[in-house]
Amino acid sequence: MPRYKLVIEYDGGAFAGWQRQEDGIVTVQQVIEDAFAKFTETPRMHASGRTDAGVHARGQVAHVTLERTWHPNKLQGALNWYMRPHPVSILSVEEMPIDWHARFSCIGRRYVYRILNRRGLPALEIGRVWFQPSKLDAAAMHEAAQRLIGHHDFSTFRAAQCQANSAMRTLEHLSVERLGDEIHVHASARSFLHHQVRNMVGTLAMVGFGKWSADDVTRALEAKDRAAGGPTAPPDGLYFMEAFY
């Protein structure tokens, strides 16, 4: 029973999120599992974490356990062939020990959030960025972001539907940089709460617009109340970049 690690890229705008749904809407998990079924057995996939509808991935990680042994490159080629024309791509396949688990062995996740900050609407980056025509102060956002790093109760940045037992998380890295017309927010942690990155980005945008100070961000965190945080940034700008093992 060989186990394979898959690294996956997808355009989240085409899917109702990662997780297979019962009602027939298209999800990333379903597209990959259905591709397996077209040339071999139907496995059960496990991802490092679920992504919501509209959220992209450049390095999602999942595993499958198969009956048959495959050369990793053959498996990659067959999956990419049978998934067409869905915007999902298997970037690599690697055989792993049977006790290796995409979710439970994962010791860190890294996301990037892209904001397009210019007067003109996106033409090339539609659905791939959060478009903000009002000027954002990336340096102020970066400074405020440092208030969120560390071990905290992140209830202020947690979606109502979050299923985690605890809102305690350790945010390892949160930085904001301007790259031309774009602002990139980089976030890394062992794990995140549901909507945590998008809620932190929406809150930092309040700082970027000059409406909130860094102290306001500290107060929002300490309130441990979603109503004290900023708005939820849209999924379009969020990219799951990497899972660490």
Kindly list the residues in this chain that would bind its own copies in the complex (CB under 8 A): 9-11, 56, 58, 73, 76, 80, 84, 87-92, 118-124, 126, 128
Instruction: Summarize the chain as % helix, strand, coil (round to 5).
Output: 30, 30, 40
Residue whose CB is less far from its own copies, 207 or 243: 243
**Helix, strand or coil, per DSSP, at residue 13:** helix
Please tell me whether 111 is known to bind a ligand. Answer: yes
Sign of torsion over alpha carbons 125, 28, 61, 47: positive
Residue whose CB is less far from its own copies, 102 or 171: 102
CB of 124 vs its own copies, minimal distance in Å: 5
Residue whose CB is less far from its own copies, 178 or 219: 178
C-alpha to C-alpha distance for 40 and 3, rounded to whole angstroms: 15
Residue whose CB is less far from its own copies, 28 or 204: 28
Element (H, E) at 218: helix 214-223
CB of 225 vs its own copies, minimal distance in Å: 36
Element (H, E) at 32: helix 28-39
CB of 40 vs its own copies, minimal distance in Å: 19
- The catalytic position among 52, 153, 181, 216 is 52
CB of 73 vs its own copies, minimal distance in Å: 7
CA angle at residue 221 from 245 to 56, to 5 degrees?
45
C-alpha to C-alpha distance for 117 and 102, rounded to whole angstroms: 35
- Torsion over CA of 185, 189, 195 and 199, rounded to 10 degrees? -50
Catalytic site residue 11?
Answer: no
Closest CA to 8 of 128, 88, 113, 95: 88
Catalytic residues: 52
Instruction: Extract the annotated binding site for substrate.
Output: 111
Instruction: Extract the annotated binding site.
Output: 111
